Chain A
Amino acid sequence: MSSTIETRPAKRHAADERYARRSLTSRLLTRPEIGALIGAIVIYVIFFAVAPPFRQLESLSSVLYVSSTFGIPAVAVALLMIGGEFDLSAGVAVTTSALFASMFSYQLTANMWVGIVVSLVVALAVGFINGYLVVKTGIPSFLVTLGTFFMIRGLNLAITKQVTSNVATNDVSTMDGFGSAQKVFASSFSIGGVSIRITLLWWILFVVVATWVLLRTHVGNWIFAVGGSAPSSRAVGVPVAKVKIGLFMAVGFLAWFTGMHILFAFNTVQSGVGIGNEFIYIVAAVVGGCLLTGGYGSVIGAAIGAFIFGMTNQGIVYAGWNPDWFYFFLGALLLGAILLNSFVRRRAEAMR
């Protein structure tokens, strides 16, 4: 480090000059999402080369659609990880939201929007309970949310069977409010002959808002701080408990949003889906440069991570490879991304 402790008022200009010497590459390499970006380009080029159908715009659109359905909850999961916590219940919470909205409206023959709003309250409550338990007990969120994961998984199946005598909900496509809700959560439109799913727009919106909050507002400062060092943050007056609970509720909110998409895209919801997806959200965040221990990361990185997931998921099909190998590739990808990230971070630290 070239800073020193002595009083050197004359060096003022020198300071600015030293600042300018930091090259563009050095500054680029200190971005948390750079590893993911390089990885995304490499994977894109590979599939572009080996899978001719991958080159079509329509394929890109479907890759982006798959990416968005995982990328939306990954936005909140990344924020939560930067804030130093995990949520293993995020995957099944998506299903809970969809099941709840569907069954609530169907059973009471109410407008779909009533179910949508009530289900939002439920999803936020699940997030709140997760956060409250973590903050009040001091038990690692990995364990707390592992517990709530199993509980929610059980509830999803048990309540659905109780209510519908089936493992799936009834078709709600003829209910009041279905059309307008479908427009919001699951419609598509076409630009230049390429059909675009609305979730892509929502995804972009959520990434932009979350990035803005993280980098430009005091709340973002607090998120980094509680993840980096909760005791230090508390000592300087950051409301640590509120920030963490808020982050769990943000996961609840985006899980709810994803659940609404699933409900209005498929009209009926299987009570068993969503299990395992929580790991994909976490993979997206980690591949995107979020530090597992908190205090470092980026939402844009998590978006790139979700895009890498979507490309691999669809690319294997386009390339005509055996899809049985998908999870092997996903795991290798995760490992590669983590190695690349740690390498880049060490290089970046050395360059400073």
Chain B
Amino acid sequence: MTAVVSEKAAPLVRLTDAGKNYGNIIALRGVNLEVSGGEVTCVLGDNGAGKSTLIKIIAGLHQHTTGSYEVEGTEVRFGSPREALDHGIATVYQDLAVVSLMPVWRNFFLGNEVRKGPRMDIPFMRRTAKKELLDMGIDLRDVDQPIGTLSGGERQCVAISRAVYFGAKVLILDEPTAALGVKQSGVVLRYIIQARERGLGVIFITHNPHHAYPVGDRFLLLKRGQSLGYYRKNEITRDELTALMAGGAELEELSHELEQAGAGSAAAARLLGEEVHDLGIDRIASGETS
């Protein structure tokens, strides 16, 4: 599909033809991706599409086995998440990488504790955590409460504001809206836009095109470890994105499957068929699989 031509300064993160094998299993193959400051790159794909493998490579948890990975124009190969963090690449994982039993402020500074001689500067850390969260719109009664007592959206925002506070240049968000309701998803999307406006590069992993399209500048679609397409916003419409995400041919297959199941399923099958048509999957997806 249309490759995005690289421009002016080197992007913050660029993967070229990157791949990852686990033994003889190919988890990811031939993926191109880039994100610059003030941009949101969305990575879309179903379960098992290779999204997790991709972010683990960028975040330094795994190393790519083929292709190249550049940060600001320099080729890198991270041995640990620490190294990625030192390059300004911060990841907010699905499980948020928070320790539920620990107080909010301890989680906020975990791994980046502010020290005053041999001990931590606890008053400063408490104060800062409270202030940073307030800036994000989370008004906590008590930063000493265990982070496990916060709601999903609040925890998400703690994780995002923590990454921003520690000078992340690139923010990788792993399915931040997956477990959230409509309202809280909206809040998280707002922070993605806020981060973009502050000049951060954001890599937003999701399987929801309705969340990706409004905030994204580029879209990478993954399927079974391969790139299904890489688009700029002006190259694709929301409906086309949705159609590609829905898995085109599979949706049709599902509809046939339901038809065969008997009378009760026929109505459902008809609805699915209509949806396939509405989305224009017959138009786009038919010639898609390589």
Which chain A residues (313-352) contact chain B, with CB distance < 8 Å?
349, 352
Name B's interface SS.
Answer: loop
Of the residues A3, A19, A221, A233, contact of B150 by C-beta under 8 Å: A3
Cβ-based interface call for B100 (8 A): yes
Chain B residue numbers with a CB within 8 Å of A234 are: 81
Q: Across the interface, do A352 and B157 meet the contact criterion of CB distance under 8 Å? A: no
Total A-B residue contacts, Cβ distance less than 8 Å? 112
Cβ-based interface call for B198 (8 A): no
Q: Across the interface, do B113 and A296 meet the contact criterion of CB distance under 8 Å? A: no
Q: Which residue of B lies closest to A236 (CB)?
A: B111
Q: Across the interface, do B99 and A9 meet the contact criterion of CB distance under 8 Å? A: no
Q: Which size class do A's interface residues fall under?
A: 35 or more
Q: Closest Cβ of chain B: how far from A4's Cβ, in Å?
A: 7
Given contacts A1-B151, A235-B91, are A221 and B110 in contact (CB under 8 A)? yes
Query: What CA separation (Å) do A232 and B141 show in the bound complex?
Result: 25
Q: Which residue of A lies closest to B152 (CB)?
A: A5
Chain A residue numbers with a CB within 8 Å of B153 are: 5
Cβ-based interface call for B179 (8 A): no
Which chain B residues (117-160) contact chain A, with CB distance < 8 Å?
118-120, 122, 134, 137-142, 145, 149-151, 153-154, 157
Cβ-based interface call for A238 (8 A): yes
Q: Closest Cβ of chain A: how far from B163's Cβ, in Å?
A: 10
Give 1 or 0 for each of B8-47: 1 = CB within 8 Å of chain A CB: 0000000000000000000000000000000000000000
Given contacts A15-B140, A225-B102, A237-B111, are A5 and B154 in contact (CB under 8 A)? yes
Given contacts A15-B141, A225-B110, are A216 and B119 in contact (CB under 8 A)? yes
Chain B residue numbers with a CB within 8 Å of A233 are: 97, 99, 110-111
Give 1 or 0 for each of A222-242: 1 = CB within 8 Å of chain B CB: 101100110111111110000
Interface residues of A (CB under 8 A from B): 1-9, 11-12, 15, 18-19, 22, 212, 216-218, 221-222, 224-225, 228-229, 231-238, 291, 295-296, 349, 352
Known: A15-B141, A233-B99. 12 other contacts (CB 8 A): A3-B138, A8-B139, A11-B139, A212-B119, A221-B120, A224-B102, A224-B106, A225-B106, A231-B95, A234-B81, A237-B81, A237-B112
